[in-house]
Amino acid sequence: MPILSEDKPQRRVKGTSLDDTDRRIVEVLTRDGRAQSTTIGEELGLSGNLVSNRIRAMDAAGLMRVVAVADHRIHGYRLVARIRLQVSGRAPIEIAEQLAQRDEVLSVHITSGRYPVSCLYAFRNAREMLEAVRQATADIQGVEDVDVELINNVYRYVPTVGPLGT
Partner 1 sequence: MPMVTPEFLATDELDRDIAVMLAQDARLSFRKIAADLGVTEGTVRGRVKRLQGAGLLKLVPILDIDRTRDPTGSPGFGQHMMFITVKCANGKLDAVREALLAMPQVSALYDANAAPRLVAVCIQPSLEDAAAVMNSVVAIDGIREADSELVLQSIKYNAAIAPIATVADLHAAQAASDLA
- How far apart are alpha carbons 64 and 139 in whole angstroms? 40
Residues 103-162 that bind partner 1 (CB under 8 A): 105-113, 115, 118-120, 122, 125-126, 148-162
- How far apart are alpha carbons 120 and 150 in whole angstroms? 10
Closer residue to partner 1 (CB): 47 or 95: 95
Closer residue to partner 1 (CB): 4 or 165: 165
How many residues touch partner 1 under the rule CB under 8 A: the total is 71
- How far apart are alpha carbons 79 and 108 in whole angstroms? 17
| CB of 32 vs partner 1, minimal distance in Å | 8
Choose, by CB under 8 A, the member of 16, 88, 137, 141 that binds partner 1.
16
Closer residue to partner 1 (CB): 4 or 161: 161
Instruction: Name every residue whose Cβ is closer than 8 Å to that of residue 23 and which is 6 or more positions away in sequence.
Output: none
Residues 32-91 that bind partner 1 (CB under 8 A): 32-34, 55, 62-80, 82
11 binds partner 1 (CB under 8 A): no
Q: Which helix (H) or strand (E) holds 52?
A: helix 48-60
Query: CB of 125 within 8 A of CB of 78?
Result: yes
